[in-house]
Structure 1
Amino acid sequence: MTFGFQFDHVGITTTTAHLDQTIAWYRDHLDFLVIQQFEVGESVFTFIGTDNITIEIISAGAAKNPAPAAESLPASHDVERLHHVCLRVPDLDAAITELDRRGVALFAGPMTVEKSGQRFAFIRDNIGTIIEITEAVPVAG
Structure 2
Amino acid sequence: MMKKLDHIGIAVRNIEDSIQFYTNVLGGRLIDRYRSEKKGVESEIAIIDVDGDRTELLMPTNNTTSPIARFIKQKGKGVHHVAYHVGDLDEALKELEEKGVRTLEGSLRINKHGRRLVYLNPMDTEGTIVEYCDYPEEYKK
- Using the size of structure 2 for normalisation, the TM-score is 0.42
Higher Rg = 1
